[in-house]
């Protein structure tokens, strides 16, 4: 989707969002590994809080992707209808 080496804004946005999500995933994984290696005990209350935060993050990511897909779909429909 690149023209003359420049990405389209929607593609650039998706790449940036994907990069952020990958960094978040690996960062949280690294944090968990450090916590386990350090030998700190994690009680079940923390597991519940962490799982609720993860579910909240997943919902935010899902809603963001739905918004991106809807925006791209409406842009494509507008272009195909010749209203651009």
Residue 5 is given by DSSP the state T
Per-residue pLDDT tens, the chain, 84 aa: give them.
445 555 555 555 656 777 777 777 777 776 776 666 666 555 556 667 677 777 777 778 788 888 888 888 888 888 888 865
Predicted TM-score (pTM) of the model is 0.40
Domain ranges of the chain: 10-40, 41-83
- The pLDDT tens digits of the residues spanning 6-20 come to 555 555 565 677 777
- CA–CA distance, 22 with 14 (Å, rounded to integer): 12
- CA–CA distance, 25 with 37 (Å, rounded to integer): 18
Tell me, what's the pLDDT at 1? 47
Element (H, E) at 3: strand 2-3
- CA–CA distance, 10 with 65 (Å, rounded to integer): 12
């Amino acid at each position: 989707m690149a023209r003359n080496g420049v990405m389209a804004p929607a593609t650039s946005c998706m790449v940036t969002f994907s990069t952020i999500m990958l960094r978040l995933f690996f960062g949280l994984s690294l944090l968990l590994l450090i916590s386990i290696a350090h030998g700190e005990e994690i009680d079940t209350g923390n597991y519940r809080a962490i799982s609720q935060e993860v579910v909240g993050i997943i919902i935010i990511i899902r809603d963001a992707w739905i918004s991106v897909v809807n925006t791209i779909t409406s842009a494509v429909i507008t272009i195909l209808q010749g209203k651009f």
